[in-house]
Each structure stands twice: as C-alpha cells, then as structure tokens.
Amino acid sequence: MAYDTIVLITGAKTGIGKAIRDGPDSSPAKSLTSLPTGDGSKVIVVKYDASSSTAAIELEKDLRDNTEITHLDIVIANAGILKAFGPAKDVKFEELQEHLLVNTIAPILLYQRTAPLLEQSKQEPRFFIISSTLGSNTLMDDYPLSLIAYGMSKAAVNFAAGRIHREEERIAVIPVQPGWVQTAMGEKAAVFAGMEPKDVPVTLEDSVSGLLSVFDSATKKLHSGRFWDQAGKEVPW
C-alpha cells in the first residue's frame, strides 16, 4: 500500500466490540491508538456498532466532522459475529435476525456511506468484505457444520458484493475468506465441530499476512465481484 493510503477497518481488534459500544475513550479503543505506526502514519479510532442501523451514518459524520479525512482508499468490512450453533430446525428468529443484521446488512450500509469517500481516492478504491467459505453453496459438503444463521449471512453478503461490483464502475468490491483462523470465533467453531481449539488450521499471523497480500494486489478488473481466500485463490460461490 502507498504511504498515503487511508484505510478504514471495522472490527479492528480482539475486544474491539467493547470499544465499539463504549466509543473512543474506552480502554480497548485507547489500546488501538497506542499501537506502533510507521513514519507518517497514525491510527484514528471512531465509534462503530455493526448491530446499529445508524452506525454507518454516524461513522461517516464522525469522519467528516471530527477528523481531517476527506477520502478513503480502502474499506475493510471486518466486523462480524458467530453466535448461533445448530441445525435449521433449532435456530431462533432472533439469531437469524442478528446474524443477517451484523454480517450482511451492516456491510451494505457501510458501503453506502463510504462509497462517496472512496470515490475521492486517487488510487483504485477498494471495498473488502471479510466473508467465509461457510457461505459457499459449492463447498457446503466440505464444511458439514450446522451454522445456518452464520452461513446464510455470509452467502447473502457474497451476493451483495457481486451485485455492488456490477453497479460500481470504479470501486472494486471483493469478499475475502480469511481462513479458519485461531481466534476466539474460530476456536468456538472448532469446539462445536468436536475439535480441539489448538487444531484450528490457520494461524492469525498467516491469515493476516495473506489478507494483506490480497488487499495490496486486488484490482477492479481481476478481483472485483469474485470470492477470494487469504492465499490469493479464488473461492467458488
């Protein structure tokens, strides 16, 4: 990425959920602002709650009113949840609703409010959505986990990415699978699958390294409207 690249990331850190709810003065948010940065770089923390229908509007207003940011080069819609475990016959209305709100609707609303800022980019603007192969119909038999709320929400956001790509002439819109990662979310899924948490296959370091490579190299022509994993391989829908 160029040194003057401005990147917006939601769900940016373990424990960020509390910072999202409590705002930039919370302890988790302050831990973000204290992260080491390269020369000429800085971290700006703004409030964003993906479960709120007004979060993207408030985020855009905060950026315009309280920062010097006049454009964005990359947006990474990373905030997401995995809370419901079990088959379709047992899933609750509230679980379906919450997963679709956070994992599907929130990225669409985020796109709506950040697209004007991305349009001001002097680079090729890119909007990434952190998705999952659990939302792939083609790969459903490879991942026999009964996570219908989560899988539905990721399949739906993949469709949204493909649709937005076709509507956008300039902005690259790309869903990305980070791998089954050794995070709290990934370890919960492992326990549900009868595995040990330590057996989750992708380290956080490898996932991030791969994702950064995808973020750096992705283009509208070659990558937008298609589904990719952290190794730079295309994933079937």
Active-site residue 18, yes or no? no
Beta bridge partners of 129: 77, 175
Catalytic residue among 150, 198, 220, 221: 150
Instruction: Give CA–CA dist 128/151, Å, rounded.
Output: 18
Long-range CB contacts for residues 38-42, cutoff 8 Å, separation at least 24:
38/3, 40/3, 40/4, 41/3
Do 124 and 172 touch, CB atoms closer than 8 A? yes
Do 152 and 100 touch, CB atoms closer than 8 A? yes
Active-site residue 154, yes or no? yes
DSSP-derived secondary structure letter, 101: I
* Nearest in space to 114 (alpha carbons), one of 164, 63, 183: 63
Residue type, 138: T
Instruction: Give CA–CA dist 24/34, Å, rounded.
Output: 12
Catalytic residue among 47, 111, 154, 220: 154
Which residue is associated with the tokens 């038999």?
141
Residues catalogued as catalytic:
150, 154
